[in-house]
Amino acid sequence: MPTVSYYRRTLLLLTACWLCCTTPLLAQQATTVISGRVTEAATGKPLSGADVFVQSSSIGTTTDARGYYKLPPLPAGTYVIAVFYEGLRSAATPLEATAPALTLDVALQPLEETLQTITVERKSDAQGGIARLQAVEGMAIYEAKKSEVILIDALTANLATNNSRQIYSKVPGLNIWESDGAGLQLGIGGRGLSPNRTSNFNTRQNGYDISADALGYPESYYTPPVEGVEKIQLVRGAASLQYGTQFGGMLNFVMKKGPEDKPFEFISRQTGGSFGLFNSFNSLGGTKGKVNYYGFYQYKRGDGYRPNSGFDVHTAFADLNMQLTEKFFLCLEYTHMNYLAQQPGGLTDEQFARDPRQSIRDRNWFKVNWNLMAVLMEYKFSPRSKLEMKNFGLVAGRDALGDLDRIDRDPNPALPRRLISDQFRNIGSELRLLQHYTTGAQPAVLVTGVRVYRGTTFKQQGAAFANREPDFRFLKSDSLASDHRFPNRNVALFAENIFNISSRLSLTPGIRYEWISTRGEGYYQVQRSARDEWGLPYPVTETMPDTLQRNRSVLLAGLGLSYKLHPNAELYGNISQNFRAVNFTDLRVLNENYLVDPNIRDEKGYSADLGIRGGTARIQYDASLFYLNYERKIGFNSERIDGIFKRVRRNLSDASIIGIETFAETDLMQWLQAKPTFSLRPFVNLALIRGRYNRSQESAYSGNRIELVPDMNLKTGLQFKREGLSLSWQYSYMGKQFTDATNTEGVVSNAIIGPIPAYQIMDLSGSYEIGRHLKLEGGINNLLNAMYFTRRAEGYPGPGIIPSDGRNFYLTIEFKY
C-alpha cells in the first residue's frame, strides 16, 4: 500500500510538470519572421505542401496552395532553414535572423542534380522506407520520444496481403502474430505486450481511434490496406501523455491523399497469389481548386493456406479535404470494411508436428462489419498558433461463430455451436491547441488538449445452429448464455511543452489527467446441480443479474530530454507513467479453455527510453535502452482445475522488462562511389530483451520469464535499387517464447499453453517500373518453406496452435493513369 508521502511526492511532481508545461516565461526579445515561396526550379511552378522547418529545432510549417510559407517568429540568431518536397532534392540555407522580417525564396532542383547545400536531416532516408518523426509534426510533440515512420511507397514488400513481417521489418522489438495469411487483422506488440489485435497500442487512422472501444475493448478488427496508406507512425510508451493510457504506445495510419498537381489520377493494382489469393485495389484522387479528394475500393478473397480458411473482404475509403479559407481547413472521411472468413481452428502439438496444414474444425466462422466516420477541422489563428478538432464515430460489429471445445477432443457436429456477437457504438472528440512562443532567446512549443469519448459495447453469447454454414443466428434469442451492455466514458486533459534550453538542448515535460468510467449491465447463466424429490441430481440453469462499475481518476506525468550532438545526431531520453484499465468485456467471456479472475485490477507503471539516433545520406541508425515497470501486470498462468489445465487471466505480480533495441541501415554505394548509379542498402534490426516477474507472492512464477517476450528478435535484409528496378531480401529470426507465467515447457493436451519455439523465415520481393504508367511487383514469402507458428490461441480462431503460412507466391500489376 503506497504511503501518504508517496502520494505527496507524486502530487508535487505532477504540479511541477504542469507548471513547466503551461506557464510561458514573460521574458521576450526582438524576433524575426521568415517567409517566402517554394517553387520547382525546372518549371517555376509553386510547390504546395512542401515542408519548411528550422533544422535541429521544433519549428516548422508547410507551404500553401500557392507555395507560400511563413515561419513562427524566431529570436535573433543564426538558423538553418530546410525545405523538403518528395521527389525533389532537399535544400537547406543558413540565415542570420536580425531584421524584423526576412524573405527566403527556395527553388528545389531535381534529384539528379548536385547542389551546394547542407544535408537536411528530415526524411533523409526515405529510400530505405524508414524515417523519424520531427520534434513537432502536425499538432503533436514528438521531441525526445522513440518514434518510427514507415514510408509505404519506398517499401519492396507484399502489400496486397499487408505482410507485417516485411512492412514493420525496420521497427525494432515488435512481436508479430500471423493469424492469417491475408492481412485481415494486424497483430503486433512489443516489450512484453500481447500482439493480440494490436490491443496494447492506441491505434489510429489519420489521428483518430479505429479500435472497437478504446477503453472497454481496445482491439483492432479493422486494419487499413497498406496500398492506400502513405505512412505508418509509431511512438512507444511515452505516447501515453498525448494519446491516452496504454503501455505500448501509439500507432497511426496516415492515409494517402489525391495528387495536388493534377485534377484526376486513377491507380489500379491487381494481385494474384498462392492458395487462391486475388486482390483488386483501385483508387481515384486529385485536386480541383481548393478541394483535394481521394478514395479507394479493395476486394480481396482467397482459399487460405489450410482447409476451412477461405475469406472474402470488401474495404472502401473516401476522403475530402477542403481549404475553405487561408486559415480554415475541413476534412470529411468515411471508411467501410466487411469480411467473412472461415476459421480452421487450432492444432495440438502432435497434430502440428504431423501436418501443420490440416484442419479438424469446419464449422468456425468470423464476420466483421466496420464503419468509421470523421470530421477533421483546423484553424490557424496566426503563424504561431493553430487549433485542431477531430470528431469521430464508429458503428461496427463482429460475430464469432463455432466450436470452441478443447482441440484434443473430436468435434460433435450434432451439438450447437457457440456464437459471440458484439456491437460497438462509439463517438469521440479531441481538441488540440498548438502555440509557438519564445522563452528568452529560444523558441518553445506548447501543445494542450482535451478529449471526450463515449463508447458502448453490446455483447451477447449463446448457442447457435449446429450446421456448417455461416449462420450467425442464436438458437434461442430470448435465452442467451449472457447478455451485456458495457458503456464507457472518458474525459482527458493533457499538456506537453518543448523548452529549448539552448540550440542543442531541450526539455519536454508533460502531464495528463484521465477520468475513466467503465460499467457493465446485464445477466449471465450458470449451471448448477439440484436434486429431485427422490434425491437424484439434475442440472438447473440459473440466470444471474450482473452489474459492474468502476470509476477512476488517473494522473500521468513524464519528462523528455534531447541533446543534438550535431545536426545529424541526437541523444534522447524520456520517462513516462503508464496506466491500462481492465476491460469489463474480458470478465464476461464464457470460454471453457480459460477463466478470468473476477477481482482483476488495472495495470499501472512507467516506461523509459535512453538512446542515440541520427543519419545522413549514407547511414541511418537508432540504438536505445528501454525499461518497463509494471505493477499488477495482467497475464495468463496455467492451473489445474477439475483435473484439467486451464489458463487463468489475472493480476500475476509486478514485473520488469529491460532491453536494447538497435537499428542501422546504410547505402554501400554512397561510400564506394562519388555519384552512384544504383543503391545497395543492407539493414540490421536487433532487439535483446529480458522480462521477469518479480515481487510475486506466487512461487509458481516468481522470477519466471514474462510470456511473449523473446530474448532475441532479429530482422536483417538487403535492398537493391536501380532506376525502375527494386529487389529486397529479408531474414527474420524470433527467439523462443512462453505463453504462460508458469513457463510451461512440456506438451499440454489442449495445446493452449506451452512454448512457442524459435523460428526463422526468409522473404524475397521485387518490383519493376515500365514507363510512367505500368509497374510489376512479385515475390516469395517464407522462401525456405519453414513450418512454424507464432501463437497459441485460447479462443477464436483456435483453440490451440495456429500454424503460419508456408511458402507462397504473389504477382501484382499496377496501372496508373
The full set of domain ranges for the chain reads 31-120, 251-816
Q: What is the mean pLDDT of the chain?
A: 88
Q: Assess contact for 292 and 329: CB atoms under 8 A.
A: no
529-563 exposure pattern, b = at least 16 Cβ within 10 A, e = fewer: eeeeeeeeeeeeeeeeebebeeeeebbbbbbbbbb
Same fold for the pair 31-120 and 251-816: no
Grid cell 476451412 in the structure block, residue: 308
Tell the residue number behind the cell numbers 510508451, with chain if given.
237
Locate 445 and state its grid cell. Answer: 512549443
How do beta strands 51-54 and 311-323 pair?
unpaired
State the sign of the Cα–Cα–Cα–Cα dihedral 141, 147, 152, 158.
negative
- 22 φ/ψ angles, rounded to the nearest 5 degrees: -110, 0
Residue pLDDT, tens place only, 204-254: 999 999 999 888 788 889 999 999 999 999 998 888 889 987 888 999 999
CATH superfamily of 31-120: Carboxypeptidase-like, regulatory domain (2.60.40.1120)
Taking only the tens place, the pLDDT of each residue in 32-61 is 889 999 999 888 889 988 888 887 666 778
- Angle, CA 798 vertex, CA 734 and CA 641 arms, to 5°: 100
Q: Which distant-in-sequence residues (6+ apart) come within 8 Å of 98 by Cβ? A: 32, 76
Tell me the three state secondary structure of residue 668: helix
Residues 6+ apart with CB under 8 A from 341: 180, 184, 309, 310, 311, 312, 365, 366, 367
Q: For residue 217, what is the DSSP state?
A: B
Instruction: Quickly name the fold that domain 251-816 has.
Output: Maltoporin; Chain A (2.40.170)
* Cα torsion through 692, 694, 696, 701, rounded to 10: 20
The 10s digit of each residue's pLDDT in 318-365 is 999 999 998 999 999 999 999 999 999 999 999 999 999 999 999 999
Contacts of range 477-483, beta carbons closer than 8 Å, 24 or more positions apart: 480/525, 481/524, 481/525, 481/590, 482/522, 482/523, 482/524, 482/525, 482/546, 482/588, 482/590, 483/459, 483/522, 483/523, 483/524
Preceding omega of 46 cis (within 30 degrees of 0): no
pLDDT surpassing 70 at residue 585: no
Residue 20 scores a pLDDT above 60 = no
pLDDT band of residue 126 (cuts 50, 70, 90) is low
Average pLDDT over residues 608-629: 93
Q: Give the chain's end-to-end CA distance (angstroms, integer).
A: 66
pLDDT of residue 590: 64
Distance of CA 383 to the CA centre of its chain: 31
pTM across the whole model:
0.87
pLDDT at 642 over 60: yes
Give the separation between CA 393 and CA 493, rounded to whole angstroms: 20
Q: What is the pLDDT of residue 591?
A: 62
Is the sign of the CA dihedral 107, 112, 116, 122 positive or negative? positive
Q: State the Cα angle at 719 between 715 and 725, rounded to 5°.
A: 150
Q: Give me the half-sphere count of Cα atoms (radius 13 Å) on the Cβ side of residue 569.
A: 5
Hunting for cell 472528440 — which residue is that? 429
Question: Which pLDDT band, with edges at 50, 70 and 90, does 19 fall under?
Answer: very low
Cα gap 486→476, rounded to integer Å: 22
Compute the radius of gyration of the chain from its Cα atoms. Answer: 27
